[in-house]
Amino acid sequence: MIIPFELPDPSNRDNVLIFPGGGYNHVSLQKEGTDIADAFNQNGFNAYVLDYRVAPFTGKVFLQDAVKGVQVVRQKIRENGDPGRKLALMGFSAGGHLALMETGHWQEIKEDPEQVSRETCRPDALILCYPVVTFTDPYAHSGSRMNFLGKEHADDEALIAKYSAEKHVNSDFPPTFLWHCEGDTSVPVQNSLMLRDALDRAGVAHKLLLFPEGAHGLGLAKDNGIISSWFDECVKWLKNTFSGMNDIFTHNGV
3-state secondary structure the chain: CEEEECCCCHHHCCEEEEECCCCCCCCCCHHHHHHHHHHHHHCCCEEEEECCCCCCCCHHHHHHHHHHHHHHHHHHHHHCCCCCCCEEEEEECHHHHHHHHHHHHHHHCCCCCCCCCHHHHCCCEEEEECCCCCCCCCCCCHHHHHHHHCHHHCCCHHHHHHCCHHHCCCCCCCCEEEEEECCCCCCCCHHHHHHHHHHHHHCCCEEEEEECCCCCCCCCCCCCHHHHHHHHHHHHHHHHHHHHHHHHHHHCCC
What pLDDT, on the 0 to 100 scale, is given for residue 112? Answer: 53
What pLDDT, on the 0 to 100 scale, is given for residue 188? Answer: 97
Q: Are strands 206-211 and 46-50 parallel, antiparallel or unpaired?
A: unpaired
What pLDDT, on the 0 to 100 scale, is given for residue 253? Answer: 34
The pairs formed by 32-39 with CB atoms below 8 angstroms and a separation of 24 or more are 32/92, 32/93, 32/95, 32/129, 32/217, 32/219, 33/3, 34/3, 34/5, 35/219, 35/220, 36/90, 36/92, 36/219, 36/220, 37/3, 37/5, 38/5, 39/220, 39/231
Q: pLDDT tens digits, the chain, 254 residues: what are they?
A: 999 999 998 888 999 999 999 999 999 999 999 999 999 999 999 999 999 999 999 999 999 999 999 999 999 998 888 888 999 999 999 999 999 999 999 888 765 545 555 557 899 999 999 999 999 999 999 999 999 999 999 999 999 999 999 999 999 999 999 999 999 999 999 999 999 999 999 999 999 999 998 999 999 999 888 999 999 999 999 999 998 886 544 333 33
What pLDDT, on the 0 to 100 scale, is given for residue 110? Answer: 63
> Does this model's pTM top 0.75?
yes
Number of Cβ within 10 Å of residue 103's Cβ equals 23
Domain 2-251 has CATH 1.20.950.20: no
- Provide the residue ranges of all domains of the chain, joining segments of one domain with +: 2-251
What pLDDT, on the 0 to 100 scale, is given for residue 224? Answer: 86
